[in-house]
Structure formats: C-alpha cells, structure tokens
C-alpha cells in the first residue's frame, strides 16, 4: 500500500500541519507567525526527504555502512566543514567553525538499520532483503544533514563550533564508544566538546511534537544468557536422566518473582526472557536448555540488584534439581541521563522554534536502550523524542519503532532540522570561551576537508566491545 508519508512536498493546502506551518498556536490559544528557523527548515524539506528516502531504500546494518557514509559526504560537500572519517567504522564527524571563539556543541544522528524485512508498501521501501530502517535512523541522518546546511547558511549568527556526529552501529554494538576513542569529543586543535544533543523520532506521538524530561530518559539495557545443563536420555524414562527443560521453565518463572520481590516499586526494572532453545527430537530429553533475554533498569543500584538476583536464582533453581547452570550477563548500554540545565535550554529552544504547545514533559523514562548514553556520561546534554505519527494515524495506535510496518510523517523532518538548529544557536549564544581560549579560528573554508579514511575490512569489522542492546524507541 502507498503511505501518506510518501506524498510530494510541499504538502497539500488541506494538510492540517501545512496550515499550521504558516501560523503557530501557543499554549494560551493565541496565534503567532511561524518561527524563522522552522520556515527556513521547511525550505530544505524536499532535499531532506530525498536524502532520507535514498538512505531508506538502501539500508545497511552494523559498523560498516559505505553507501550511507557516501550519501552523507555528498550531502555536506561544499559547506566548508572539516570532515573526519572513522577508522574502525563508517562514521562521519563534520565540524562547522564559526571563526569566532565560543562553546562547542555536538549534534548526533545514528545511521544504521535493522535486520528486518520491510512490509510498509512504500514506493521507496528497502531494496535489501531482510534489512530495514525501522527505527528512524534514516530520518535522523537526513535531519542532521539538513541542520548542517541550515546552520552553515546562518554561520554569521554563530560563535564557537558545531560538531555533527554521524554514528553507525547504534543497533548492533555501541558505535558511540569507538567514535569517542577516536577523538570525537576533542577537536584537532585540542578544543573539547562542551555539550551534546540528539533526537529520536517515533510514530506514536503527535507529529512535530517534542517530548523530553530531565534526568533518566532511557534505561540501562543489558543481556541475559543462561544455559541449564542436565543429562540427556530417552523421553520415555525421565526418571533416569536430568531433564533441563522444566528447570529452564522454572527459572523463567522464578526470575519474575525475583524482580517483584527485590526491586523497589519506585525504581522499576524489566526482565524478559525472549528465547528458549532445547532439544532436537520428540523422543530425546536434551542435555541442555538455553535461555536468553534482556533486563532494563533505571539506576545503577537496581542494575546491580537484578544482575546479582539473576545469578542467584538460576543457580539455586538448578541446584534444587541436581543440575548446573552457566550464567552470562553481558553489559549493554548504560542509562541516558539528561542534564537538567541543558534540558531546560532544549525546552526553551523547542518552544521558540516549534511553539510551546508542541513541547511536552515525558511522565517517565522509556525502557529502551541508547548508546548516546556514552556521550552523555562525558559531557552534559540531552536526548529528546520527536513525534512523527503519520497522517491519518492515531497517536499511540500506529505501528511504532522496530515494527516492519512503521511509517513516519515526513513533515516532522522540518521540525527536527529546526530543533537541532534552535538548540545549537541558543547554546552557542550562551556565550563565553568557557575554558576554550585555545580555539583556533579557521577562515575561508571553501570545501570540506576530509582528514581520515576508513581502513581495510579487517579493522572496520573489529568487535566494538559492548553488548548490542540498542532499541531506542
């Protein structure tokens, strides 16, 4: 089926958001003109949408994304940015230098897709079998390119620098960490990044709305693997063997009881076993049964409690039946912590750019996982959700991220471009050198300077060293 999100731009006159694009209604119900940033972002929307669709139709998974990287390089060519390519992965870091001293802000977009067969029916649907942009990273990348273009056009209004972080491997291994290790947060002249901002699109919220909260925005996302070892034999004589299957089932139930009886109700935790594998024939009791899943927590204290509880319960249940277990608990992404002061700045910037009625406080964190957490462990900043419920859809009722049928309202991409730019301009306007007195202003950049190339396939396929727990919603 064709999606309403695939409509040509500009939107038709009877599109509700097209009408509101000309005026914004604030919280008091009064009408005011659309902000300059949003109007300028809307002019870039056809190019932003075209880039999003190009990336969407040719999705790539993991750390090695050559087509996506090339699309980004072509899109930012000629903007006068200093561009650095990753060594261990297909990352792109592009720096816009205003030529005036000031702060340095990082803006981030993830680039990678999911191992999932697309069933949207879009005209620009994935051409790669079994791979799909089902989490909006194509839109994130396109919006950040649009922000780079718009901020470059408004360069004379800026002080300091903006770092554009295009990151692979959010879904499959924590691509933020190797980018940090390769110098993401320190520029070539020694200037340190002062703060960082990212947004994540979703279809469940009203289009062009922003949702954010100070403190914990995303949960820590860790993995569970448990192998129960018994003794195999004939299915007709279970009393002569050690059957690991009922023990594995008992462990699943006991883990849920452990969560409700050891984790405080005001610090929620989720533990979900998603796979159980055992046996090869109907008449053979297997030697082993394997469980896997994930647990999500909102604090380091509850993270430790759940981690210790999983091992204790699994070993105890197995021992009660004369069996042994091997418990593996690979650590995934830590919690995403939004800095309160920076979050307040984001709320003000969003209200100015998009209208106060479009900015909402999240009532609680999401239990999804995000490796932007590694950036926010090192510099203050925030991550927000950008609503993109497709036309005709009901917020909260449409397929959302990680669905093979997820659709996004592409009108929201203009709001995302404007939001990136509003946050950047407001933060940089906050002024001062803030310890960056050694900044070297670069003038007269005519074209992008590409500083480093990706190395051979052997290096770029190295293990990134963190469990794959990216599923930002």
Q: Please state which of the ranges 279-283, 418-422, 466-470 shows the lowest mean pLDDT.
A: 466-470
Give mean pLDDT, residues 354-372.
Answer: 96
Compute the residue count for the chain: 473
Evaluate if residue 330 carries a pLDDT over 80: yes
333 assigned to active site: yes
**Contact between 445 and 80 (Cβ < 8 Å):** yes
Torsion, Cα of 345, 134, 334, 142 (10° steps): -40
Q: Which of 64, 218, 295, 333 is catalytic?
A: 333
At 3-56, the pLDDT tens digits run 333 333 333 333 333 333 333 434 444 444 567 999 999 999 999 999 999 999
Give mean pLDDT, residues 137-148.
Answer: 98
What is the rounded distance in angstroms from the CA atom of residue 271 to the CA atom of residue 462?
A: 30
- Of all residues in the chain, the percent with pLDDT exceeding 70 is 84
pLDDT value at residue 467: 53
Give mean pLDDT, residues 354-382.
Answer: 96
Evaluate if residue 2 carries a pLDDT over 50: no
At 265-278, the pLDDT tens digits run 888 899 999 999 99
Residue 190 is given by DSSP the state S
Residue 149 is given by DSSP the state H
Q: Which of 40, 60, 118, 410 is catalytic?
A: 410
Helices and strands (DSSP H and E) totals, the chain:
12, 19
**Contact between 360 and 384 (Cβ < 8 Å):** no
Evaluate if residue 440 carries a pLDDT over 60: no
Evaluate if residue 291 carries a pLDDT over 60: yes
- Of all residues in the chain, the percent with pLDDT exceeding 90 is 82
**Contact between 169 and 137 (Cβ < 8 Å):** no
Evaluate if residue 73 carries a pLDDT over 50: yes
pLDDT band at residue 172 using 50, 70 and 90 as cut-offs: confident
DSSP 302-370: HHHHHHHHHHHHHHHHHHHTT-EEEEE----B--EEE-HHHHHHHHHHHHHHH-GGGEEE-SS-BS---
Evaluate if residue 350 carries a pLDDT over 70: yes
The helix (H) or strand (E) run that includes residue 413 is helix 412-429
The helix (H) or strand (E) run that includes residue 8 is none
User: Could you give the C-alpha distances from 398 to 1, 205, 366, 408, 409, in angstroms and in order?
Assistant: 15, 10, 18, 10, 12
pLDDT band at residue 471 using 50, 70 and 90 as cut-offs: low
pLDDT value at residue 468: 53
Residue 67 has a CB neighbour count (10 Å cut-off) of 14
pLDDT value at residue 267: 85
For residue 380, what are its two tokens?
């203050």
Evaluate if residue 445 carries a pLDDT over 50: no
pLDDT value at residue 158: 96
40 assigned to active site: no
- 198: three-class secondary structure by DSSP: strand
**Contact between 270 and 367 (Cβ < 8 Å):** yes
| Residues contacting residue 387 through CB under 8 Å, at least 6 positions apart | 201, 202, 203, 204, 205, 206, 207, 208, 209, 210, 211, 395, 412
Residue 232 has a CB neighbour count (10 Å cut-off) of 16
Q: Where are the beta strands (DSSP E) in 12-119?
A: 23-25, 31-33, 82-85, 92-97, 104-110
First to last CA, the chain: 24
Give the largest Cα separation in the chain, rounded.
Answer: 82
Give mean pLDDT, residues 102-126.
Answer: 98
- 419: three-class secondary structure by DSSP: helix
At 374-419, the pLDDT tens digits run 999 999 999 999 999 999 999 999 999 999 999 999 999 999 999 9
Q: Where are the beta strands (DSSP E) in 192-338?
A: 195-202, 210-212, 215-218, 220-229, 233-234, 269-278, 284-285, 288-297, 324-328, 336-338
The helix (H) or strand (E) run that includes residue 29 is none
Residue 233 has a CB neighbour count (10 Å cut-off) of 17
């Amino acid at each position: 089926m064709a999606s309403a999100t695939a409509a040509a731009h500009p939107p038709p006159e009877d599109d509700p958001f097209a009408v509101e694009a000309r005026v914004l209604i604030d919280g008091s119900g009064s009408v005011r003109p659309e902000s300059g940033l949003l109007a300028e972002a809307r002019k870039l929307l056809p190019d932003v949408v075209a880039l999003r669709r190009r990336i969407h139709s040719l999705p790539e998974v993991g750390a090695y994304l050559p087509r996506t990287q090339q699309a980004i390089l072509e899109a930012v060519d000629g903007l006068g940015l200093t561009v650095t390519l990753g060594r261990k992965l297909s990352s792109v870091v592009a720096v816009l230098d205003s030529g005036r001293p000031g702060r340095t802000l990082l803006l981030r977009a993830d680039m990678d897709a999911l191992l999932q067969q697309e069933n949207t029916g879009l005209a620009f649907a994935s051409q790669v079998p079994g791979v799909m942009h089902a989490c909006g990273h194509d839109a994130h990348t396109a919006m950040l390119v649009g922000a780079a273009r718009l901020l470059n056009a408004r360069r004379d209004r800026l002080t300091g620098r903006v770092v554009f972080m295009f990151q692979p491997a959010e879904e499959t291994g924590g691509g933020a960490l190797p980018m940090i290790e390769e110098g993401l947060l320190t520029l070539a002249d020694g200037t340190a990044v002062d703060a960082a901002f990212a947004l994540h699109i979703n279809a469940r919220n009203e289009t062009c709305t922003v949702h954010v909260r100070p403190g914990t925005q995303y949960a820590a996302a860790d993995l569970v693997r448990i192998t129960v070892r018994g003794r195999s034999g004939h299915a007709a004589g279970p009393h002569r063997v050690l059957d690991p299957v009922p023990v594995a089932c008992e462990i699943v139930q006991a883990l849920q009881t452990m969560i409700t009886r050891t984790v405080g109700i005001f610090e929620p935790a989720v533990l979900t076993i998603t796979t159980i594998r055992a046996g090869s024939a109907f008449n053979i009791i297997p030697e082993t049964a394997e469980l896997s899943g994930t647990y999500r927590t909102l604090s380091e204290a509850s993270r430790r409690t759940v981690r210790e509880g999983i091992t204790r319960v699994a070993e105890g249940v197995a021992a009660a039946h004369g069996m042994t277990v091997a418990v593996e608990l690979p650590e995934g992404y830590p919690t995403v912590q939004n800095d309160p002061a920076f979050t307040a700045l984001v709320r003000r910037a969003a209200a100015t750019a998009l209208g106060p009625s479009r900015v909402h406080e999240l009532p609680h964190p999401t239990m999804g996982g995000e490796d932007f957490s590694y950036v926010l462990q090192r510099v203050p900043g925030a991550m927000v959700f950008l609503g993109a419920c497709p036309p005709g859809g009901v917020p909260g009722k449409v397929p959302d991220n990680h669905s093979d049928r997820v659709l996004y309202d592409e009108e929201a991409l203009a709001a995302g471009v404007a939001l990136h730019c509003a946050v950047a301009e407001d933060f940089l306007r906050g002024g001062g050198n803030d310890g960056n007195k050694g900044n070297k202003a670069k003038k007269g950049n005519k074209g992008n300077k590409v500083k480093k190339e990706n190395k051979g396939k052997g290096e770029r396929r190295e293990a990134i060293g963190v469990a794959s727990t990216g599923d930002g919603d």
